[in-house]
Amino acid sequence: MSETTLIADTLPRAVEWENGELFLLDQTQLPQATVMEKQETAEQVWDSIRVLKVRGAPAIGVAGAYGLCVAMKDKTNLSLDEFIAEMDKQAAYLDSSRPTAVNLGWGLRRMVRVAKASGADSAESLFKVLVDEAVAIHEEDKKLCRGMGDNGAPLIREGMGILTHCNAGSLATSELGTATAPMYVAHSKGVNFRVYADETRPLLQGARLTSWELQKSGIDVTLITDNMAAHIMSQGLIDMVIVGTDRVAANGDVANKIGTMGVAILAKHFGIPFYVACPSSTIDMEMPSGAGIPIEEREDDEVTNFGARRTAPEGIKVRNPAFDVTPNEMVAGLITEKGIVTAPYTENLKKLFGGHND
């Protein structure tokens, strides 16, 4: 990739580790306020992930890894065995904050595995291993974004219209985003294109986050409500869909923000290619198909209320699944840091990622 500074480099970071302290951008306050919140305890990190102060699969993977450092920083006076037992407990606790994005468990398992294999002979030196590994996961995530950007950018041609859903942007990762990485790279090369951002009910990640970061970056972005996508497609305004993902199964089924499968079905109807940007940290080679991916169910009030205002009758029955699974046959390609993977996914993912994603 060219050395040009991409505008996304100048956006506020979702996760920062500075002088041994963890700061998370409170995304629930965007776009009105940009507030970095210091994380003092494991419970605070758990809550920040749960309430979506930090969100997006890669960002919660990085936040979870640093969260384990926050959890263990005042435990270095323990014996080595006690430290390891506590580390296992805290990793499982942090992993329980959200179930669907595989990056969270992936990052935490990697932290624990590397720490145990390090041969460190004291709690203090084991803690240093944890910090180094969290920093490594963070730095790698930036490279994964760049790789997806370089591999996906050639798909974007002058004058195209691109639809995206939820926020798979800079705010959901350590740098350029996943779905937005090809957009940022193409934009830096002077390619002109239009992005349509679905608002993404119920929590409005598209309206609050994607439209904010693309607008700030000088990319031509238009906000639509979710139920406008079919109409906009029928008008010939969309040439390609690019979304992110929380977990891709070994057969290429894709879990992503609720509503994504509907977008894929519409894209198929209108003959529009549906791409998924996906770093290797989001591929779960242990999960044979999307049927086994745990789908997070969230609180009713996210559906019964619009912001602070109640919009549904008291006592109404509600469902609030936060993700859905798009069948692999609807996916034109998975844009990864190693290249664009196409069908047959089981075979081709295995070839590229060798049976596991560690």
Which helix (H) or strand (E) segment holds residue 124: the answer is helix 123-152
Query: Which residues, 83 to 112, sit near ligand MRU by CB under 6 A?
Result: 101
Give Cβ neighbours of residue 147 (< 8 Å, ≥ 6 apart): 279, 336, 337, 338
Provide the pairing of β-strand 161-164 with 240-243.
parallel
178 sits near ligand MRU (criterion: CB under 6 A): yes
170 sits near ligand MRU (criterion: CB under 6 A): no
- Alpha-carbon gap, residue 115 to 167, rounded angstroms: 32
| Residue with smaller CB distance to ligand MRU, 53 or 127 | 53
48 sits near ligand MRU (criterion: CB under 6 A): no
Give the angle 280-207-11 at the CA atoms, nearest 5°: 60
Sole window of 72-80, 115-123, 170-178, 338-346 interacting with ligand MRU (rule: CB under 6 A): 170-178
| Residue with smaller CB distance to ligand MRU, 57 or 197 | 57
Determine the residue type at 139: E
Task: Look up 246 and say whether it is catalytic.
Answer: yes
Q: Which of 58, 67, 161, 290 binds ligand MRU (CB under 6 A)?
A: 58
| Residue with smaller CB distance to ligand MRU, 56 or 115 | 56
**In the complex, minimum distance from the CB of residue 256 to ligand MRU, in angstroms, rounded to a whole number:** 5
8 sits near ligand MRU (criterion: CB under 6 A): no
Instruction: Kindly list the strands in the beta sheet with 240-243, ordered across the sheet, starting from the edge strand earlier in the chain.
Output: 220-224, 194-198, 161-164, 240-243, 274-277, 333-336, 339-341
64 sits near ligand MRU (criterion: CB under 6 A): no
| Residue with smaller CB distance to ligand MRU, 188 or 281 | 281
* CA distance to 2, 74, 75, 238, per residue, from 208 (Å): 30, 36, 38, 22
256 sits near ligand MRU (criterion: CB under 6 A): yes
Q: Are 345 and 353 in contact (CB under 8 A)?
A: no
Q: Which of 257, 275, 285, 336 binds ligand MRU (CB under 6 A)?
A: 257
Q: Are 14 and 172 in contact (CB under 8 A)?
A: yes
Query: Which residues, 193 to 212, sit near ligand MRU by CB under 6 A?
Result: 205
Sole window of 14-22, 51-59, 89-97, 121-129 interacting with ligand MRU (rule: CB under 6 A): 51-59
* CA distance to 69, 101, 172, 175, per residue, from 169 (Å): 25, 15, 5, 8
| Residue with smaller CB distance to ligand MRU, 87 or 263 | 263
Q: Are 272 and 330 in contact (CB under 8 A)?
A: no
Sole window of 31-39, 55-63, 113-121, 123-131 interacting with ligand MRU (rule: CB under 6 A): 55-63
Site of tokens 């590397």:
114
Q: Are 244 and 165 in contact (CB under 8 A)?
A: no
Q: Binding residues for ligand MRU, how many (CB under 6 A)?
A: 19
Q: Which residues bind ligand MRU (CB under 6 A)?
A: 52, 55-58, 101, 166, 168, 172-173, 177-178, 205, 244-246, 256-257, 322
Enumerate the active-site residues.
246
